[in-house]
Amino acid sequence: MTNDELFSIGELAERTGVPVKTIRHYADEGILPPSAVSDAGYRRYSHEDARRLRMVRSLRALGFSLPAIASMLDGTRDPADVAALQLDLVETQLHALERQRTILRAAAALQDRSDVLRRLETAYAAASLGAAERAHRLDRWLARTGSGGNDDAGRGKIRSMVLDGLPVELDEPQLEAWIRLSALLDDGGLLDTLAAQHEPFGSDVTPEARAAFGAQMMTLYGRLYPLVAQRVAPGDERVRALVDVWVGLFAKVLNRVADPALERWLLAFAERTNDPRIERFWKDVATLRGLPAMPPITAAQSLLIDGLSRSLEERSGS
C-alpha cells in the first residue's frame, strides 16, 4: 500500500464523522491500530480502517463495550453470542427504564404538588418489591384492617384475589396498579374506613353469615349498576325497592328489626364508610389480575344512601 492510499487521522475523522480524540482512544485500546506510521510518527489510515471505524461506531451506538467489539472484530468470540448477551443487557435496561417511567408518571399525576417527593420515594420502594415481598406487605395490611374477617381463611381469600397468578415481574399497567395499591396500603384514612366497615360484624356474626351477606350484597349491587348508568333518581320506585332489600339484608345479618331506628343507623354507617378509595383498590386489583373493570360500586352505594335519605325525610315530614 502506497502512502497516497493512506490518510491522516484528521482526514479519517472528516470521512467518518468520528472525533480525532475518539479515534486516538480506539487506537490506544487496540481497536483501531493504524495501517502505518510515518517517519515523523504520524498515524496513517486506509479505506479498510475507515470501514472498520464505521463498524466500531455502529457497535458502540448499540451499546457494545470496547472489549466486546475487539473480541468480535478479531474473531476471538462469536459475534452472535456477543449480540445475544448484549440483547439480554438491553432488555434489562429497558425494564429498568419502564419501571422508572411508571414511577415518575405516578408522581407527576399527583394533585398535591408538595407530595411529589414523598410519592417518588414510596413509589420506588413499592416498585422494587419482589413477589414474596408484595405478598408479605399485603398480609400485614390485611392483619391491620381485619379485612376478610377475623379468620385466616377470610384473609387468605382476599390475599388470593389480589396476588394469585401474578408474574414475578409486573408489566407496566400492573406496576402502575401496584404502586397505587401500595400507596393505599399506607393510607391511614382508608384503614379507618375499613375498620369502620367491619365494626358491626363482630363475633356474633358467623363466617357463613358474613359470606352469605356478601354474596347477597353483590347481587343487590348488580341490580343497581344499570340504574346508575341510566342516572335514575333516588326517588324512583326501583331504587326504593332496592333500598328495602338493602335494609332487610342488614337486619338479617345483624339480627335486628328493619325499623326506622335501623334505617337511621344504616344511613349514618353507609355515609361514613362509602369511600371511593375502596373502589380504587379493587380497580387496581382488577388491573393486576387482568380482570374486567370494576363496576361503579361507590356510585351504587351513593344511590342507596340517597334513596334511603329521601325515604326517611319523606316519612318524617308526613
Instruction: Please tell me the pTM assigned to this model.
Output: 0.55
Tell me, what's the pLDDT at 47? 92
Domain boundary among 138, 169, 191: 191
- Does residue 79 sit within a domain? no
Cα separation, 302 vs 270, in Å, equals 9
Contact 176, 101 (CB under 8 A): no
Please check the confidence at residue 148 and state whether its pLDDT lies above 50. Answer: no
Tell me, what's the pLDDT at 24? 92
Tell me, what's the pLDDT at 1? 45
Cα separation, 204 vs 5, in Å, equals 97
| Grid cell of 302 as nine digits | 351513593
Please check the confidence at residue 303 and state whether its pLDDT lies above 70. Answer: yes
Q: Which domain holds residue 170?
A: 90-191
Please check the confidence at residue 216 and state whether its pLDDT lies above 90. Answer: yes
Cα separation, 30 vs 7, in Å, equals 19
Is the same domain home to 126 and 187?
A: yes
| Grid cell of 10 as nine digits | 484528521
Is the same domain home to 240 and 260?
A: yes
Is the same domain home to 41 and 94?
A: no
Domain boundary among 148, 173, 191: 191
Cα separation, 203 vs 209, in Å, equals 11
Please check the confidence at residue 33 and state whether its pLDDT lies above 80. Answer: yes
Residue where the block lists cell 489510515: 45
* Higher pLDDT among residues 158 and 193, named by residue: 193
Return the half-sphere exposure (C-beta side, CA atoms, 13 A cut-off) of residue 41.
Answer: 0
Query: What percentage of the chain reaches a pLDDT higher than 70?
Result: 75
Domain boundary among 191, 208, 229: 191
Tell me, what's the pLDDT at 39? 85
Cα separation, 34 vs 19, in Å, equals 15
Number of Cβ within a 10 Å radius of residue 266: 23
Tell me, what's the pLDDT at 151? 47
| Amino acid letter, residue 280 | R
Please check the confidence at residue 176 and state whether its pLDDT lies above 80. Answer: no
Is the same domain home to 31 and 113?
A: no
Q: Crossing angle for the helix pair 47-61 and 20-28, nearest 10 degrees?
A: 90
Tell me, what's the pLDDT at 149? 46
Please check the confidence at residue 150 and state whether its pLDDT lies above 50. Answer: no
How many domains does the chain contain in total? Answer: 3
> Which stretch, 71-85, 183-197, 254-268, 272-286, has highest mean pLDDT?
254-268
Return the half-sphere exposure (C-beta side, CA atoms, 13 A cut-off) of residue 217.
Answer: 16
Is the same domain home to 219 and 131?
A: no
Is the same domain home to 98 and 68?
A: no
* 81 band by pLDDT with thresholds 50, 70 and 90: confident
Read off the pLDDT of residues 112-128 as tens digits, 9 standing for 90 and up. Answer: 666 666 666 555 555 55
Question: Can you tell me the mean pLDDT for 215-224?
Answer: 94
Question: Can you tell me the mean pLDDT for 209-224?
Answer: 92
Tell me, what's the pLDDT at 130? 60
* 220 band by pLDDT with thresholds 50, 70 and 90: very high
Is the same domain home to 164 and 262?
A: no
Number of Cβ within a 10 Å radius of residue 103: 23
Residue where the block lists cell 406487605: 137
User: Any idea what the CATH number is for the domain that residue 9 is in?
Assistant: 1.10.1660.10
Tell me, what's the pLDDT at 227? 96
Considering only 68-82, 97-111, 175-189, which range has the smallest mean pLDDT? 97-111
Is the same domain home to 114 and 147?
A: yes
Helix, strand and coil content of the chain, in percent to the nearest 5, comes to: 70, 0, 25
Is the same domain home to 303 and 254?
A: yes
* 241 band by pLDDT with thresholds 50, 70 and 90: very high
